[in-house]
Amino acid sequence: MKKSSLKSNEINTSKGLNALKVAYIFGAGVGVFFINNIYILLGVIFIHFIAFMLIKNEAKNFKFLYKVRWFIFFFFLFDAFVGNNDIDLFKIKKWTISLSYDGLLSATLMSCKLISMLLITQVIRLTMSGKDFVSGMTALGLGRSSAEIVNQILVILSNEKISKTGSTVDRIPGNGGGNGGGGGRNKSFGNAETRIESEATEGENVAAKDVLFRGRIGNIPKKLLNRIHFAKDQFTDNPNAVIASSSLAVTLIRMVKIAPGLPLAPGHKNILFFPVFIHGILKSKRKFAGAQIGLISGILHFTMGFGKYGPLGIIEFAILGWVFDVLLKLPVNKNKLWYLMLLGGIGGLIRISTEMLILLVLGMPEAFYIIYFPYVIAQVAFGIASGFITKSILTE
């Protein structure tokens, strides 16, 4: 009895600690955006940087900062020249280009907020396994079915031989690999650069830009259905098989290259994400299947190190699924192309909303949105283009 009681206490303590870590990620990670004291922010960065350097984890790297380099660059580009002309750089006839101390301070403040959130997220995430994070989320209210699905998917992914160089994999859908695959926790968890090379399929290969500008879909639906069918096979006996398989399919899409994208056109994977969401919602009998698919997918992406904005990515995917849930309840023929394209366009706006929210909280000047507008257009445009893929896989 004593041993059983001791073990139970250890489990409860572990769950409590995991819950505190998860709460810290959301509370402190988001809370730093509302701190306007540069010295406090520098202190937060210093403490978490030291902690980050002390963590022994082979997945640790500074890629998370590299991903937001353009954000930080534009902070300084737009704010450094706003205010008093304190430091003259050069003159062009009657025009003088000068730096402003106040502008530089404002840009530094915004950069420190963003870096603080990312460092807090990295420090906590690298000290938790995927199961630890799910345990913490469960203690904070994550549903039992969602927790079970996340754990099952983590096991499936950890049994895949994932190449860190993005070259080949033995056991991926369509490759017909064997039963090999390392046991235990996948060493590539947390590595945002992890890739699985897409399987070879017959038919025409089509780039994402062809879907966008020409409405050509080639073999993309076939590849996408291969992912969905592979995911379904992993959950044949699960009562929540549709939600589980859709969540796994979204995760696999994040890890593979099914359709080539445009280097300067972010959001090209919207043509793949959105069809899976819509397909899963329409096939599921659960009331808010999309929200659950989004929540699970967001948790998986977070634990594996995908995404630029830490815990905000989980919220983004959950809201995306919820919006699709609501829109798919409208009394409209779900197979109409215009309707599916409308869903995709709205989904693109939802996906970009996280970054827009960050910009608003940071107080970026209005001029920034002029440069940022093409990015919004790309997200929405690829979302609209997803309607072609969605219609195709729904009629299969």
193 and 162 inside one domain: yes
Cα–Cα distance measured from residue 340 to residue 383, given in angstroms and rounded to the nearest whole number? 10
Q: Is the pLDDT of residue 308 over 90?
A: no
Both 233 and 340 in a single domain? Answer: yes
In a domain, 381, yes or no: yes
Q: Does some domain include residue 113?
A: yes
Q: Please check whether residue 133 lies inside any domain of the structure.
A: no
Residue 170 sits in the same domain as residue 92:
no
3-state secondary structure of 186: coil
Are 170 and 256 in a shared domain?
A: yes
239 and 386 co-located in one domain: yes
* 130 in any annotated domain: no
> Among the three residues 95, 125, 155, which one is the final residue of a domain in this structure?
125
Same domain, 310 and 361: yes
Query: Does residue 306 sit within a domain?
Result: yes
Task: Kindly state whether residue 136 falls inside one of the protein's structural domains.
Answer: no
**Co-location of 292 and 245 in the same domain:** yes
Mean pLDDT lowest among 64-78, 84-98, 271-285:
84-98
389: number of CA atoms within 13 Å, CB side? 36
Same domain, 235 and 296: yes
**Nearest Cα to Cα of residue 280 among 308, 321, 237:** 321
Q: Is residue 162 part of a domain?
A: yes
Q: How many domains does the chain have?
A: 2
| Direct distance between the N- and C-terminal alpha carbons of the chain, in angstroms, rounded to an integer | 57
Q: Which of 126, 172, 166 is nearest to 302 (CA)?
A: 126
DSSP helix/strand/coil, 89: strand
Query: Mean pLDDT highest for which of 69-83, 182-196, 226-240, 251-265?
Result: 69-83
Identify the helix (H) or strand (E) that includes residue 356: helix 337-362
DSSP code for 88: E
Report whether pLDDT(262) > 60: no
Nearest by Cα to 72 from 106, 42, 97, 43: 106
Q: Which two tokens stand for residue 374?
A: 């093409």
pLDDT, position 265? 57
pTM of the full structure: 0.75
Q: What letter would DSSP give residue 22?
A: H
Range of the domain at 270: 143-394
User: Is residue 359 situated within a structural domain?
Assistant: yes
C-alpha–C-alpha distance, residues 386 and 40, integer Å: 44
